[in-house]
Amino acid sequence: PRRALGVTARGAQALASGALPAASREVVEAIASRRTLRHAAATKRLVRALVRDGLVEEIATENAPRAKLRSVRIVSLAAEVDTTRAGEALTRAPKQAAVLREIAASGPLPVADLEARIPGAPAALRALLERGLVRVEDRAAPRDVLGRPIETPGRVRLSPEQDEASAELRRAVRERLSETYLLHGVTGSGKTEVYLQAIEEALEGGRQALVLVPEITLTHQMVARLRARFGDALAVLHSGLGPGERLEQWESLRRGETPIAVGARSALFAPLESPGVIVIDEEHDSAYKNEEGFRYHARDLAARRAHQAGCPLVLGSATPSLETRFAADRNAIRRLVLPHRIGGRPLPSVEIVDLEKERAFVPKGRRVVLSRTLRRAIGETLEAGGQTILLLNRRGFSTRIFCFECGHAERCRHCDISLVFHAEANRLRCHYCGFEIEPPENCSGCQASGTALLGIGTERLEEEVRTRFPEARIARLDRDAAARRGGAERILRGLREGAIDILIGTQMVAKGHDFPGVLLVGVVAADLGLHLPDFRAAERTFQLLTQVAGRAGRGNVPGRVVVQTFVPSHYAIRPVRDHDYEAFYAEELGQRAALGYPPFGRLVHALVSSPDAAAGAAAIERLAKVAESAGALRGAASAPGAIELLGPAPAPLARLRDRFRFQLLAKGPDAEGVIAIARALVEEVSRLPASISASVDVNPTHML
């Protein structure tokens, strides 16, 4: 059923009393009068807050509107019409004669175009239809979702490494080998061209191709490359399209009209009759794991689909996940290596700045935002006419408002987390539930006036950069800036076309983009995600730093990277200086082996949430007992093949959206034992009370 919004009795009372803030009143009035709400992130957050406060409610309606294929009415001459004779017969109907001549001269054309050209055409057209001189039919008119047309480049000359990898993949496509290949190439090594060669082989053999990218923003670049090679014979599938657009793209694939499907994670389910190759670009990205509802990893399901279709699966990355690289080391999959950038271009030089030492050069109590090295590098890049990307993987202006008198930080009323200050909206916001308030003038804990903004986000960084480089053209790309449809693509296009000098952003700027004009990349806080309670934190940090470093120097001028950190000797940061994936891989693999984490063991993660803390704790204890009695916990935790149970315990984010969260983790090398626990947990979850939400995930990518 479709979900609609309605105003509750409490909401109607608040509206009548005039007690609602202006923004809330506007939304409640719109819902009450059934007006369309503005589709903006701020509106969505406000609606969620109104629902949570009992002023607005969700109502199930009977049927959701069906997505429809768009069509256009086309008028053409009826078969075997002699326009000369027909024109003579219409001497007393000059308007009909004019319409007939226009159709004869133009050929089949949209009725709307005809009516725009000739005043009074609708009546004349009806008369011509009655005379049988013309015909009108509905024809499919798919919406354009492929973006701007592009110029087709000449044929690319492959490097020896590309040629070798391409030959192997083309052979696999021709011979219909259902094998998995890791295309391990440094940033800028030409992995996409190797994909295109394999896709070309599939199309020449009368089969189709499926290409997955981790984020919607990357589909535009991939579509551009595919269109340059194969024209418009492709369909795009992702959640950023409207219902009608998605239906049109889906139908074009189902009918076999377009042989190439490209999109984000869910495009894996595209209705291709006979895929000849499946490509997963940036295979290491955690966005390929669906962690809500039906839990799956696109990489695993793609391998299954490739096996069923009898086609190769190509996993491409400059920083492969440990699981994928380890599988290649064990010869479970084939590894193809592209060790150099195309055209002999060098990898960018990387300089690591120790922020602890940099503190000596700023006033006491001030935070280092841009080090001397990074400021100097930005200035030099601007003078050279180059572009800069600055990465700070944290939205907002400041991470918290802190009271120096009592130590209180403003926190979300519904989550166990600090509110983030957003300067543009002058609001404190929760990035998990959407709750927001105006910044208090005094501390809400002790009423003191000595509060301060701590921590920095992309808004604060943008302010700093604008102050220091006022002549530069600066843009920001994060979830807030990209909230409007097409917003991210407009910003990225501006950088690509040279309209932006400095782009500030979160990890959205780090993934797979090709900007030849970017000469400098600056990482403002490299260790932000390094100390999270997640065994993959080091891997994600290394991947993010290596990927964003790879955006520099992809044109004809060598690039430069400046990485700011408080832990320059950390094994996830140190190898970035030399682009040394192998050094990081060896160190991290040793850590995982010692602790029994993937790829040396399997994990099952159970998460329970409840509006009542005691009920949630009781539910997770119940699941723990089921896991213990599932028959999979054999022997002591230190025994070979044993499965270890960690928890139950409160989750790192112990309360979200007014629900208390608890977790349980089982890990061990015995795959059958771990799966047995997972099955027992899933069965028990179905018996929990309706007020308890619970999920069971095998090999989770996030555990917060």
For residue range 327-386, list pLDDT tens digits in order. Answer: 999 999 999 999 999 888 999 999 999 988 888 777 776 777 899 999 999 999 999 999
Mean pLDDT of 700-704: 84
Q: Over the chain, what is the mean pLDDT?
A: 85
Same domain, 170 and 260: yes
- Neighbouring CB atoms inside 10 A of 53's CB total 14
Residue 381 CA: distances (Å) to CA of 324, 374, 458, 466: 37, 10, 21, 15
> Based on the domain organization, do 180 and 218 belong to the same domain?
yes
Q: What percent of the chain has pLDDT over 70?
A: 89
Residue 146 inside a domain? The answer is: no
Q: Which residue has the higher pLDDT, 704 or 496?
A: 496
5/637: higher pLDDT: 5
Segment 485-492 mean pLDDT: 78
Residue 648: asked if its preceding bond is cis (omega within 30°), the reply is yes
More reliable by pLDDT, 96 or 29: 96
- CATH number for the domain that contains residue 616: 3.30.70.600
Residue 348, Cβ density class (10 Å: 0-12 exposed, 13-18 middle, ≥19 buried): buried
| 544 belongs to a structural domain | yes
Query: Do residues 186 and 130 share a domain?
Result: no
Q: Is the pLDDT of residue 231 over 60?
A: yes
Q: For residue 632, what pLDDT is reported?
A: 47
Mention every residue, 6+ apart, whose C-beta is less than 8 A from residue 628: 645
Last-in-domain residue among 109, 140, 171: 140
Give the containing element (helix H, strand E) for 314.
Answer: strand 313-317
pLDDT of 631 reads 58
Residue 75 domain-assigned?
A: yes
679 & 571 share domain: no
Domain boundary among 105, 140, 175: 140
Q: In this structure, is residue 155 part of a structural domain?
A: no
DSSP string, 227-257: HHHHTT-EEEE-TTS-HHHHHHHHHHHHTTS
Q: From 140, 170, 197, give the residue that closes a domain.
A: 140
Instruction: Name which of 261-270, 385-394, 475-484, 493-502 the model is least confident about.
Output: 475-484
Task: Give the residue-averaged pLDDT of 436-463.
Answer: 81
Q: pTM higher than 0.95 for the full model?
A: no
Kindly state whether residues 357 and 493 are assigned to the same domain.
yes
Please report whether residue 624 resides in a domain: yes
Nearest-5° Cα angle at 393, 388 to 399: 120
**Structural domain containing residue 52:** 2-61
The count of structural domains within the chain is: 6
Angle at 315 between CA 245 and CA 330, to 5 degrees: 155
Would residue 148 count as lying in a domain?
Answer: no
Residue range 514-537, pLDDT digits in tens: 888 999 999 999 998 888 888 999
Tell me if 154 is assigned to some domain.
no
Q: Do 419 and 520 share a structural domain?
A: no
- CATH number, position 185: 3.40.50.300
For residues 207 and 308, state if they share a domain: yes
CA distance 78 to 72: 18
User: What is the model's pLDDT at position 171?
Assistant: 97
Is 663 in the same domain as 518? no
Buried b (16+ CB within 10 A) or exposed e, 646-656: ebbebbeebbb
Do both 656 and 559 map to the same domain? no
Q: Is residue 147 part of a domain?
A: no
The stretch 485-512 carries a mean pLDDT of 85
Structure tokens at 683: 């069965």
Report the pLDDT value the prediction gives residue 484, as an integer from 0 to 100. Answer: 66
Q: Are residues 663 and 558 in the same domain?
A: no
Model confidence at 155, pLDDT cuts 50, 70, 90, reads low
The confidence score (pLDDT) of residue 149 equals: 46
Q: In terms of domains, do 327 and 362 share one? A: no
- 622 neighbors 352 (Cβ within 8 angstroms): no
Q: Which pair of structure tokens corresponds to residue 271?
A: 């209705």
| pLDDT tens digits, 242-286 | 777 788 888 889 888 899 999 999 899 999 999 999 999 999 999
Residue 638 has pLDDT above 70, yes or no: no
**Same domain, residue pair 205 and 322:** yes
